[in-house]
Amino acid sequence: MVMFGVTLGQRRVGGNRRSIIARLPRPQTCGIIALSFIAIAFSAPNARALDRVFDGALDKVMGTLSVRFEPVMSQGSLIGCQIVYETTIRDWTYRKGAPLRVDGSVGFMTGERGDVSKLGATVKVVVNEIDNDTKYQVIFRPSAPSRAYIANEIFESNLDDLVSANRSDAPGGLFAIYQPLKTLQIVMESLDNAELNVFFNQMNGGSDIRLKVALDVERTDDSGAKVRSQKAISAFRACLPRLIRRS
């Protein structure tokens, strides 16, 4: 469990109105850099009012927060191409709309098998429940899925091509390896549409949560507005042919 403080400021003497700046960073264990800052005011500092403030603050940062391209290098050579994303969503499948922080990546890696370089696909999903307490602190509780995969627009998935899935190094994370062909087809369609469908479960359940990642969201500014670009998409497209030639 990771806890982050909320800064209080501008308390008026003789009144209940306060200005709260809720700083909602990613969990430190998720390896993400971006921070979201939300300014919001409220009256009557009781539990219900705090919950309303908390939900209102989260509503400003729902959806895709950022997407970036990351190459993977080893001893001076390219061995992987990844799309890395950060999102905040509401879970209507398991938690009646409670918020989740979901970060992860989709990509391709080369590995050696004997004297032959093999290409594999990777899907990583890191899930944290987001909660608050009466001390104005934001709490992240790791909640790893036991299944994670991607699908295209008509919901054809790569799950049948799963090779292995294990807990990742990040608390709340699952790292899955897939045979590359179906995943490659889905990823290329997703790049064309600038949207990636990631599916994962919770609590070892049979139902899967759909996460729609907007691949053209470079970052989210302090007001919650999305700054869009094709940087991640273009960089991933440029990386992939070089990686495939090595495999």
Of 40 and 108, the one with more pLDDT = 108
pLDDT at position 40 over 90:
no
Please check whether the domain covering 63-246 is classified as CATH 2.60.40. yes
- pLDDT at position 224: 87
- Note the pLDDT of residue 230: 98
Other beta carbons within 10 angstroms of residue 240's beta carbon come to 17
Interval 190-200 mean pLDDT = 99
Smallest Cα–Cα separation from 68: which of 227, 247, 244? Answer: 227
pLDDT band at 45 (very low <50, low <70, confident <90, very high): low
| More confident call, 3 vs 72 | 72
The pLDDT of 91-113, averaged and rounded, is 94
Q: How far apart are the first and last CA of the chain?
A: 40
Domain boundaries defined on the chain: 63-246
Range from 52-61, 152-161, 227-236 carrying the lowest mean pLDDT: 52-61
